[in-house]
A and B are shown apart, each in its own frame.
Chain A
C-alpha cells in the first residue's frame, strides 16, 4: 500500500528504492573522535535551532559587524519597503510565467486579494529581519514560515517547491542589491558592508526556512 506522500518521497529520493548491499565490514566512523565530535554537532544542530544558527553563523562568519551592517541598511530599505514589495509582487511575481502560477485563481486570473495577502506576509518577514533580533523567536518564525509551505500539518496537497523559494529569494536578493547599489553608489565601502551582511543572512534564512523540507542529513 502506498500513499501520495510515499510515492512523492520515492520519486524525490530514488536511492531509497535501491537494493542495499552490506560492505561486509563494520563502519568505524564513530570510533574516530573527530567524526564523533562532528556527529554530536550534527545532532545538536538538527534539534536545537539556536545551535544551528550559532554553527551556521560561525561557518558563514556572520558576526555582530554584519548585524550592524543590516541595521545600517534599515534606513534605506524601510523607507522604500512598500515600493520594493510592490515591484516584487505586482510587477515580477504576477507576470512571471512560472512563479505567477501560485497567484492565480481557478480561472487562471491573478487573484489580487491573495497577492495582497502574500505581499503583506512578505512585508512582515522583511520587517522582522530589519529588527535584527536573531533570537529563538525569530528563527522559529523563519522555520515556521518554511514549514507552512509543505504538508507539515497534514495537508498533502500543499507543497511549494524549493525551486520557487529559491527563485523568489534569489530575485529579492538581486533586486535588493541593485537597489542598494543605486542608493549607495557614492559610498562603496558601505555598500560592500551591507551587501556582504545581507548575503550571509540570506543563506542563513534559506537554511532555517527549509528545515522542514528536508531530512537533516540532506
Chain B
C-alpha cells in the first residue's frame, strides 16, 4: 500500500502540503521538489502515529491543493491547533529530509559560504584563545562565597 492509499489522499494533495510548508522562492526549491512522499510519510509515522496522521489529514478539504498559499497555511494552522503533535512531526520530518538533501545543502553553501561537507575529519581552524580579552574580568574581586 502506498502512502497515498494509506491515508486516502492524493499525491497532489501531499505535494501541495509540502509546498505550503516550504514553498519555492527564486532559486530555492520547494519541499515538494526534493522530498519523496513515501520517505516523508514513514518518518512522520515514526515520530507520531498512523492514527494521528490520519486524523490530521482528515481535516484537510478535498480541494486543498487548489487553494492558494495563504488559505492552505490557514487550514494547516487550524489542524495544528487540534493536533499539534502531528503538525510538529510533519514539520520535523519535512525539515529533516529537506535540509539533508544534497541539492539544498549545495544552495546553502552557495548563498552563505557554509561548507556542506561533514564536520569531520577536516573541521575548522582552531584559533588561539586571546587572553587579552579578559582585561576587565581579570580585575574583578573574588565572587564565590566561603561557607566557613
Partners in one complex: no
